[in-house]
């Protein structure tokens, strides 16, 4: 898209999120995203997070540790594998929950696919606030395109990443690059969520970053 088209699209998305009672803002880069996230986390707050390439690329986990925040992130290399489930539960009771998203639509919907559910639950119920960070590569026109992206772009790429990082089985979507609605034991697209409006019990802030982030 031309620069004007991008600006017009971002303005349209921000307006749609406002209509849906979801706070949203745009920042130019991942470097600008980091302070925007930090200024929305109260001093002394506990912070939970799900699995997110976007958050790792921004460097938020390292910065939270440096500032001595209490961080519940089950995929931290310092967390023993047998403790991940307990840490994931604590993340859902944190003051602030951080996450990426698989897709956002021009009319202000947030769409995700998850294997276990801890990431998507943290955006909907439990924490007082969720901060969702997305690159412009996650923007799609409508719900149909969002579901297409989650199944045939995000899921295969994440399945490949998880196999390489954690040694999971080779899923069919990795082999052929698209969803085949498999029944594999380690299938990663078990749960699909669509946030259409602000959930009643949690405040959501969406930070759109003006570059490609995550998968």
Where helices occur in 67-154 by DSSP H, the ranges are 84-91, 118-121, 143-149
The domains of the chain are located at: 3-209
Give every CB contact of residue 65 below 8 A, 6+ residues apart in sequence: 71
Give the tens place of pLDDT for each residue, 61-102.
999 999 999 999 999 999 999 999 999 999 999 999 999 999
Q: Which CATH number fits domain 3-209: 3.90.1640.10, 3.30.930.10, 3.40.50.10420, 3.40.50.720?
A: 3.40.50.10420
In tens digits, the chain (215 residues) has pLDDT values of: 555 567 789 999 999 999 999 999 999 999 999 999 999 999 999 999 999 999 999 999 999 999 999 999 999 999 999 999 999 999 999 999 999 999 999 999 999 999 999 999 999 999 999 999 999 999 999 999 999 999 999 999 999 999 898 877 899 999 999 999 999 989 999 999 999 999 999 999 999 999 999 99
Alpha carbons 53 and 57: distance in angstroms, whole number: 6
């Amino acid at each position: 898209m031309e620069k004007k088209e991008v600006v017009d699209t971002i303005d349209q998305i921000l307006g749609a999120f406002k209509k849906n009672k979801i706070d949203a803002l745009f920042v130019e880069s991942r470097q600008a995203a980091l302070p925007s996230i930090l200024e929305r986390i109260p001093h002394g707050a506990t912070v939970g997070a799900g699995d997110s390439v976007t958050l790792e690329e921004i460097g938020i986990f390292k910065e939270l540790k440096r500032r001595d925040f209490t961080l519940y992130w089950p995929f931290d290399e310092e967390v023993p594998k047998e403790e991940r489930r307990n840490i994931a539960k604590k993340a859902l009771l944190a003051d602030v929950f951080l996450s990426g998203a698989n897709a956002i639509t021009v009319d202000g919907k947030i769409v995700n696919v998850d294997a276990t559910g801890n990431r998507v639950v943290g955006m909907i119920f439990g924490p007082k606030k969720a901060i969702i960070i997305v690159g412009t590569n996650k923007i799609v026109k409508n719900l149909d395109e969002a579901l297409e992206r989650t199944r045939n772009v995000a899921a295969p790429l994440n399945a490949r990443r998880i196999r390489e990082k954690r040694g999971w089985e080779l899923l069919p979507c990795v082999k052929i690059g698209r969803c085949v609605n498999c029944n594999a034991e380690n299938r990663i697209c078990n749960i699909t969520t669509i946030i259409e409006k602000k959930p009643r019990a949690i405040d959501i802030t969406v930070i759109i970053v003006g570059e490609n982030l995550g998968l």
